[in-house]
A and B are shown apart, each in its own frame.
Chain A
């Protein structure tokens, strides 16, 4: 028993609190502290979550009844483009990077990220990219009266993006904004990888590292390999648009399929970039509220790493209807189905972690339970989509929209909300209200299922996605109405969350170091943690240093 995480720390926080407000602003603008940068990422992403959520509501109002004239087709097309682009690049990625920024150094016993200035740069360039995207609404070429926000879809298929079909600057806003956010992502990924590989505290072998940093390591690896082709494709597209290159300009002999490959070589792994951190939160939260060690740690690591690799070889399952031919199709069917094996291992290991535990249904755990069920369903509809002939029917239909929102909202957003409730006391020193948390959970859960359960069915009844209206008599009407009502419940839930975060910041119960009786290093420092995290660099001798402290009679280290 050599573990001695340090429980007291220098009281540097007091110093900042007594400063005049301007200095505080200046301090945030110039900070290189990983925790402040992490929080800025989270706040900026939450703002975009609200904006993109609002866009989703507008779309759902438009689709709630057939032949609706609530918005024009142009506006609708801008809405789904901005919604998708924002959710993926300006909500999902930044919020997960923010969580990683905050948690990874704390959990591996480091004082900061490996490159603090690069970290600040990555944040600011991503934030700028988000602003640039929305500036298109007022700063466009005036092609439409209300500016010219991008309207080519978040996938921006060629040749709809070429000059002939997309004159004006809307597509340029999309390209440049996503390009800059990619630069930021690659910077952050580099930072996370270096931090994890080089800055672990004494005694923390890779095999003792908590699962959260492991998953962020795999995620960052995917970011390198996946974001680079997207960045390349965007440069090529800009060359097409401004210097007369013909990569994707089909009117001059370019290739539309080439764009699809480039885009999905990014786009598919991107799903895993988003979902691996969600797994990471589940890996930390489920054991604590089941009061048990993670079941099958080595298998979890192996499954994550193999998901990382396989995810890079399945992209063309987004192209089953592009005419790849039987050989191409069967290859990608196989690769896609295989990925369900490591994913299944994860679900079973979580189940085994819960099994035999003493489950505490606190709000973070409730969100994790939602995560487990919804991720299970998402995985199963994923298998359906992998069966190419079934996919020929379902792709580009509302079934797909339902499927990927099960992943994006049902798994990722639920896990993220759980993580908010779990780590909020660490970040602010106060607990979030459990009562409001339960309201948030139930409103969101009901809304989620009304929206996305029912969305599968119009897909099966032949409703394509990205349509701004539809005629009556296809059997889609009632279903779309229910879907719209669900979206409103989700919005209500989100409002409760935001209220809870603000309310608890001022009125929440004091949290102390370790409110959940948890086991990893971040719970050994004060809440909120001081600037350099650890007054004395900690030393660990097992995967759960705080468990060892609390249970000297049954230390973890015996089980490695």
Chain B
């Protein structure tokens, strides 16, 4: 078993015991303490039990007399009441310290704010200071101890409850309608951190994946800058994209999707302004390629059954040009 779990550990990008940020690291420290205390308790009690089972088993050679009847002992019972109380107090105090260290520390002025809104079955991310709105792929700067730039997440939900969980960065926090919760993350190395929705939220709860891209402050600033630009409008030499734009704007797409700087201002579905800059669609499970995009627009439920985006019933031509347009939204 240990070999097997060992390899699994090494591979897993969502291992809680491989922390890469402060909240996950302090939870990890506590976990190790709790694990060692419980392991010791287990070894002692299970050892005593095993010993008793072997030592006091009935042997065929035994006499027929019943063993001595012992009804209790106040001293012994007191000891196994008091010792557990002491352990509980220790554990409680340590746990409290970690809770306060995560939930009750002041927010530094350098922190980045992001608002997260949970939807069935995707994520909406807003950067209030810069006005950027995006979906499903969260970009944040890395934070180093010398000049911490943690990201503060303010979260709520537009429909049912969800839960934001990136195991290597922090524990989860629920997104609950009519309620605002907060948490923070501070990835210490650049890279992609995976996770997924952890609160059952309906049919496609399983495919509400999370992707967090941690970037150097420079890369992050550049990304923010690019996301802040309105969507591309002119597609010289690409008639399909130009036509696709028109098709998009006159179809029901705009009821649900927004593209910054156009008449599309829908809020029900993900913002598509810079769709082509994302690696995946449909909150993670599908690679963002033209073929996948086309199939998605044609019939989302064939790729993600239960998704709330309806099939758009477009003809092949319209599908082609819309795909061409969406692929240009860098």
Question: CB < 8 Å: which of A151, A323, A387, A470 contacts B181?
Answer: A323
Minimum C-beta distance from B247 to chain A (A): 31
Residues in A with CB closer than 8 Å to B27 are 389-390, 392-393
Query: Roughly how many angstroms separate A139 CA and B283 CA in the complex, as a whole number?
Result: 35
Nearest-neighbor residue (CB-CB) of B307 within chain A: A73
A93 within 8 A of B: no
**Sample of 18 further A-B pairs with CB below 8 A, known A387-B91, A389-B27, A392-B171:** A160-B202, A250-B178, A256-B161, A296-B72, A321-B163, A322-B181, A337-B91, A337-B95, A349-B77, A361-B58, A369-B49, A383-B34, A383-B91, A387-B95, A396-B199, A460-B17, A474-B11, A478-B4
Residues in B with CB closer than 8 Å to A333 are 92, 95-96, 99
Nearest-neighbor residue (CB-CB) of A337 within chain B: B88
A524 within 8 A of B: no
Nearest-neighbor residue (CB-CB) of B175 within chain A: A323
Mark B223-264 against chain A: 1 for CB-CB distance below 8 A, else 0.
000000000000000000000000000000000000000000
Nearest-neighbor residue (CB-CB) of B24 within chain A: A393
Mark A340-378 against chain B: 1 for CB-CB distance below 8 A, else 0.
110011011101101111111100000001001100110
B290 within 8 A of A: no
Contact status A461-B76, CB under 8 Å: no
- Once A159-B160, A345-B81, A478-B8 are accepted as A-B contacts, the answer to whether A376 and B71 lie under 8 Å apart by CB is no
Contact status B172-A393, CB under 8 Å: yes
* Segment touching B, from A108-116, A128-136, A285-293, A533-541: A285-293
Mark A378-393 against chain B: 1 for CB-CB distance below 8 A, else 0.
0011011011111111
Query: Roughly how many angstroms separate A119 CA and B171 CA in the complex, as a whole number?
Result: 47
Residues of A440-498 contacting chain B, CB below 8 A: 453-454, 457, 460-471, 473-476, 478-479
Query: Roughly how many angstroms separate A397 CA and B199 CA in the complex, as a whole number?
Result: 9
- Once A72-B305, A73-B204, A390-B34 are accepted as A-B contacts, the answer to whether A460 and B15 lie under 8 Å apart by CB is yes
Residues in B with CB closer than 8 Å to A250 are 177-178
- Once A299-B77, A390-B27 are accepted as A-B contacts, the answer to whether A380 and B173 lie under 8 Å apart by CB is no
B216 within 8 A of A: no
How many residues of B sit at the interface, in one of the four size bands? 35 or more
Residues in A with CB closer than 8 Å to B100 are 326
Minimum C-beta distance from B83 to chain A (A): 9
Minimum C-beta distance from B11 to chain A (A): 4
Nearest-neighbor residue (CB-CB) of B45 within chain A: A376
Minimum C-beta distance from A283 to chain B (A): 14
A74 within 8 A of B: yes
Contact status A462-B12, CB under 8 Å: yes
Residues in A with CB closer than 8 Å to B8 are 457, 461, 475-476, 478-479
Residues in A with CB closer than 8 Å to B188 are none
B68 within 8 A of A: yes
- Once A393-B27, A474-B13 are accepted as A-B contacts, the answer to whether A462 and B80 lie under 8 Å apart by CB is no
- Once A160-B160, A341-B85, A462-B16 are accepted as A-B contacts, the answer to whether A356 and B45 lie under 8 Å apart by CB is no
Nearest-neighbor residue (CB-CB) of A551 within chain B: B66
Query: Roughly how many angstroms separate A465 CA and B102 CA in the complex, as a whole number?
Result: 25
Contact status B67-A297, CB under 8 Å: no
Residues in A with CB closer than 8 Å to B24 are 393
B146 within 8 A of A: no
Contact status A383-B38, CB under 8 Å: yes
* Segment touching A, from B134-142, B190-198, B267-275, B313-321: B190-198
Q: Could you write out 15 A-B pairs with CB less than 8 Å apart?
A: A72-B305, A165-B120, A293-B69, A322-B176, A323-B179, A334-B92, A337-B88, A348-B80, A369-B49, A376-B46, A389-B26, A396-B172, A465-B200, A475-B11, A559-B71
